[in-house]
Amino acid sequence: MSESDRIFSQPLDHVADFTFNEDVARVFPDMIKRSVPGYPTIVENIGVLGARFAQPGSRLYDLGCSLGAVTQALRRHVKTDGCRVIGVDNSAAMLARCREYLSAQDAMYQELLPAELVEADILQMDFQPCALVALNFTLQFIEPERRLELLQRIRQALLPGGALILSEKLRFADAAEHELLNELHLDFKRANGYSELEIAQKRTAIENVMRPDTLEEHRERLAQAGFSKVVLWFQCLNFASLIALP
Ligand SMILES: Nc1ncnc2c1ncn2[C@@H]1O[C@H](C[S@+](CC[C@H]([NH3+])C(=O)[O-])CC(=O)[O-])[C@@H](O)[C@H]1O
Ligand SMILES: O=C(O)C(=O)Cc1ccccc1
């Protein structure tokens, strides 16, 4: 069991930019469940979607895998012969714990897909041909100017019949819509026990690091990267997940 998230619970003199360090890794399962409406549903269903797009002998990438929640869902749901999951993250703290979670999963289940973990910057690594790429709340942490080239390289690596699953926090061009969905998201956090102080300090920590796009920006960028079809399969408040087909 992981600890509960108390990272921003005490007043801080200076709120530093958010990083995926050891303190965050320790509480991450609790943090993401209490912060992202629909997260457990999205993760479980990426496993189900993955099973449809997997092809015999193919790679399934989980980019920005954190503690490997999506990697675990893919390992359980995908039964296609010879597939393997490759989890990639540039946080050593996250990957160290991810490795422990995957060993625990190995001890719990039989017939799991093999998984390997790679410590790398997804902007630097070469992608091998693959049937599935999951970017589950990772693209929003990539510098906006580098998002298109990343999606282009993913598009190039995808096999015909494969898919990219892209989950993101959304911004809205319409001010009233943006305001309402953001307020409802804050209500979700309050309902999950976060105080006003925790909410305010987390917001300060994250605002320079995580830059959400609108759904329209995602659709345009995916089209520009060469994806032929984009389907919204999940939305809860200002969090959404897309299937993009090559
Ligand atoms: N350039 C980069 N290269 C590699 N990894 C990166 C990079 N930038 C950020 N990351 C990694 O992307 C992850 C984003 S969290 C993903 C949740 C997970 N997918 C989940 O389904 O639980 C999202 C969130 O916390 O909202 C972190 O682990 C970063 O270290
Ligand atoms: O906490 C938030 O407000 C978020 O938008 C999502 C989030 C969840 C976990 C780590 C970083 C950001």
Lining residues, ligand 1, CB within 6 Å: 20, 32, 43, 64-66, 69-70, 88-91, 94, 121-123, 136-138, 141-142
Query: Does some domain include residue 32?
Result: no
Looking at the CA of 189, which ligand is closest?
A: 2
Whole-angstrom distance, CA of residue 78 vs CA of residue 165: 15
Whole-angstrom distance, CA of residue 27 vs CA of residue 99: 16
Query: Does some domain include residue 34?
Result: no
Whole-angstrom distance, CA of residue 198 vs CA of residue 47: 32
Query: Does some domain include residue 85?
Result: yes
Q: What's at 209, amino acid-wise? A: V
Query: Does some domain include residue 178?
Result: no
Query: Does some domain include residue 187?
Result: no
- Its pTM stands at 0.98
Query: Does some domain include residue 76?
Result: yes
Report pLDDT digits (tens) over 41-94.
999 999 999 999 999 999 999 999 999 999 999 999 999 999 999 999 999 999
Structural domain of residue 164, as residue ranges?
39-172+209-245
Report pLDDT digits (tens) over 2-38.
899 999 999 999 999 999 999 999 999 999 999 999 9
Question: 68: alpha, beta or left, given left = phi > 0 and alpha = psi -120 to 50?
Answer: left
Whole-angstrom distance, CA of residue 160 vs CA of residue 163: 9
Query: Does some domain include residue 156?
Result: yes
Ligand 1: centre distance to CA 205 (Å) = 16
Query: Average pLDDT, stretch 122-127?
Result: 98
Q: What is the CATH number of the domain that holds 147?
A: 3.40.50.150
Task: Locate all alpha helices (DSSP H) within 119-174, ordered by sequence.
Answer: 147-157
pLDDT at residue 102 is higher than 70: yes
Report pLDDT digits (tens) over 173-192.
999 999 999 999 999 999 99
What is the per-residue pLDDT for 1?
63
Q: How many domains is the chain partitioned into structurally?
A: 1
Query: Does some domain include residue 204?
Result: no
ipTM of the complex: 0.97
* Residue 89 annotated as part of some ligand binding site: yes
Lining residues, ligand 2, CB within 6 Å: 31-32, 35-36, 169, 202, 206, 210
215-224 vs 147-157: helix crossing angle, rounded to 10? 50
Which of ligand 1's atoms lies nearest the C-alpha of 20?
A: 30
